[in-house]
């Protein structure tokens, strides 16, 4: 089995254009990548940023995409007495909890 090799090109922005001093975030990113096992192989100086080619080799990464599972069956509609709100009857006139009919006594 062939070795696994990963190559990236990072753009690291400079504090002042035309200098070699990196911004704080870019310097931290480069320091993190070098500590994580990446090696700097090439560097190009542009007016506003540095282009850094970094690479690492080793074991192939794990499978990150999971296989597709079949979709679950949908639930049957909830019918029955009362329709969608459930229970016998409903909120209409008459019956328990309904509006009173006739004169008040």
List pLDDT tens digits, range 5-49. 999 999 999 999 988 899 999 999 999 999 999 999 999 999 999
Residue 87 has pLDDT above 60, yes or no: no
Kindly list the domain boundaries of the chain, sorted by start residue.
Answer: 4-58
pLDDT tens string 47-80: 999 999 999 998 777 777 888 888 888 877 766 6
Q: Which H or E run contains 20?
A: none
Phi, psi of 80 (to 5 degrees): 95, -175
| Res 8: pLDDT | 95
Phi, psi angle pair for 93, to nearest 5°: -70, 145
pLDDT(95) > 60 = no
pTM equals: 0.55
CA angle 93–104–98, rounded 5-degree value: 15
Instruction: Annotate 33-71 with b (16+ C-beta within 10 A) or e (fewer).
Output: beeeebeeeeeeeeeebbebebeeeeeeeeeeeeeeeee
Output phi, psi for 28, to 5 deg.
-65, -40
pLDDT of amino acid 99: 60
């Amino acid at each position: 089995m062939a070795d696994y090799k990963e190559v990236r090109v990072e753009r690291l922005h400079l504090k002042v254009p035309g200098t070699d001093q990196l911004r704080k975030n870019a310097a931290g990113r480069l320091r993190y990548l070098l500590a994580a096992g990446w090696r700097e192989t090439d560097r190009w100086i542009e007016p506003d940023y540095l282009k850094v080619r970094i690479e690492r080799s080793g074991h192939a990464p794990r499978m990150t995409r999971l296989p597709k599972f079949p979709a679950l069956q949908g639930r049957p509609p909830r019918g029955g007495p009362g329709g969608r709100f459930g229970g016998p009857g409903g909120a209409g006139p008459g019956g328990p909890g309904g509006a009173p009919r006739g004169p008040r006594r």
